[in-house]
A and B are shown apart, each in its own frame.
Chain A
Amino acid sequence: MSEGFAIDVQGMTKRFGDRTVVNKINLQVRAGEIYGFLGPNGSGKTTFIRMLCGLLRADEGKGTCLGYDLLTQSEEIKRHVGYMTQRFSFYEDLSIAENLDFVARMYGVANRRQAVRESIKQLGLAGRQDQLTGELSGGWKQRVALAACLIHHPKLLLLDEPTAGVDPKARRDFWEQLHQLAAQGLTVLVTTHYMDEAERCHRLAYISYGNLLTHGTLAEVIARARLTTWAVSGPDLPGLAGELRSSSGIDQAVAFGTSLHVSGSDRAALQSAIAPYRTDKYEWHEIDSSLEDVFIHLMQSSQDNFAA
Chain B
Amino acid sequence: MTRHSPISLARLWGIVVKEFVQMRRDRLTFGMILGIPLLQLLLFGFAINGDPRHLPAGIIMSDHGPQGRTILAALRNSTYFDFTRQLNSEAEGREALARGDVQFVINIPENFTRDLIRGERPAILVEADATDPAATGNALGSLSTILNEGLSHDLKGPLTFLASNPGPIDLRVHALYNPEAITHYNIVPGLMGVILTMTMVMITGLAITRERERGTMENLLSMPTRPTEVLLGKIIPYIVVGYIQVGLILTAARYIFHVPMEGNLGLLLAAALIFIAANLAMGITFSTIARNQLQAMQLAFFVFLPSILLSGFMFPFRGMPAWAQCIGELFPLTHFLRIVRGILLKNNGADAVINELWPIALFAAVMLTIGIKRYRQTLD
Contact = CB atoms under 8 A, between A and B. Distances in A.
Contact of A57 (B215, B220, B223, B380): B380
A85 B215 contact: yes
A103 B216 contact: no
Interface stretch (A26-34, A48-56, A208-216, A229-237): A48-56
B225 interface: yes
Contact of A89 (B215, B225, B380): B215
Contacts of B215: 85, 87-89
A112 interface: no
A91 interface: yes
Contacts of A79: 224
Contacts of A55: 218, 221-222, 378-379
Contacts of B214: 89, 91-92
A88 B220 CA distance: 12
B110 to A, nearest CB: 73
Interface in A263-306: none
A60 to B, nearest CB: 14
A54 B378 CA distance: 7
A24 interface: no
B216 A54 contact: no
Contact of A106 (B218, B223, B379): B223
B291 to A, nearest CB: 16
Pick the most buried of B224, B378, B380: most chain A CB atoms within 10 A of its CB.
B224
B5 interface: no
B2 interface: no
A89 B378 contact: no
Contact of B222 (A57, A83, A87, A88): A83
Contacts of B377: 54
A267 B167 CA distance: 122
Contacts of A245: none
A127 to B, nearest CB: 25
A106 B225 contact: yes
Contacts of B224: 75, 78-79, 106-107
Contact of B378 (A56, A81, A106): A56
Nearest to B217: A89
Interface string A97-117: 000000100110000000000
Nearest to A16: B380
A37 interface: no
A46 to B, nearest CB: 10
B203 to A, nearest CB: 15
A53 B218 CA distance: 11
A142 to B, nearest CB: 14
Contact of B223 (A56, A78, A87, A88): A78
B223 A103 contact: yes
Contacts of A88: 215
Interface string B203-217: 000000000001111
A55 B378 CA distance: 4
Contacts of B216: 89-91
B222 A54 contact: yes
A89 B223 contact: no
A50 B219 CA distance: 11
B219 A89 contact: yes
A78 B219 CA distance: 11
Nearest to B216: A89
Interface string B229-247: 0000000000000000000
A141 to B, nearest CB: 12
Pick the most buried of B218, B219, B220, B224: most chain A CB atoms within 10 A of its CB.
B219
Nearest to A82: B222
A79 B219 CA distance: 13
A55 B377 CA distance: 7
B219 to A, nearest CB: 4
Contacts of A90: 216, 219
A89 B379 contact: no
Given A87-B215, A92-B214, A56 B379 contact: yes
A229 B15 CA distance: 49
Contacts of B217: 89
Contacts of B380: 56-57
Contact of B379 (A50, A91, A92): A50
Contacts of A50: 379
B209 to A, nearest CB: 15
A72 to B, nearest CB: 14
A54 to B, nearest CB: 7
A87 B378 CA distance: 17
Nearest to A85: B218
B224 to A, nearest CB: 4
A87 B379 CA distance: 15
Interface string A61-79: 0000000000000010011
A257 to B, nearest CB: 38
A58 B106 CA distance: 70
Contacts of A56: 378-380
A74 to B, nearest CB: 8
Contacts of B220: 106
B13 to A, nearest CB: 30
A92 B221 CA distance: 17
A56 B378 CA distance: 5
B167 to A, nearest CB: 72
Interface string B184-219: 000000000000000000000000000000111111
Pick the most buried of A56, A79, A89: most chain B CB atoms within 10 A of its CB.
A89
Given A85-B218, A90-B216, A91-B214, 8 more contacts: A55-B222, A75-B224, A79-B224, A89-B214, A91-B216, A103-B223, A106-B220, A106-B223
6 closest residue pairs by CB, A with B: A89-B219, A78-B224, A106-B223, A83-B222, A89-B215, A79-B224
8 contacts: A54-B378, A57-B380, A78-B222, A83-B219, A88-B215, A89-B214, A89-B218, A90-B219
Interface of A: 50, 53-57, 75, 78-79, 81, 83, 85, 87-92, 103, 106-107
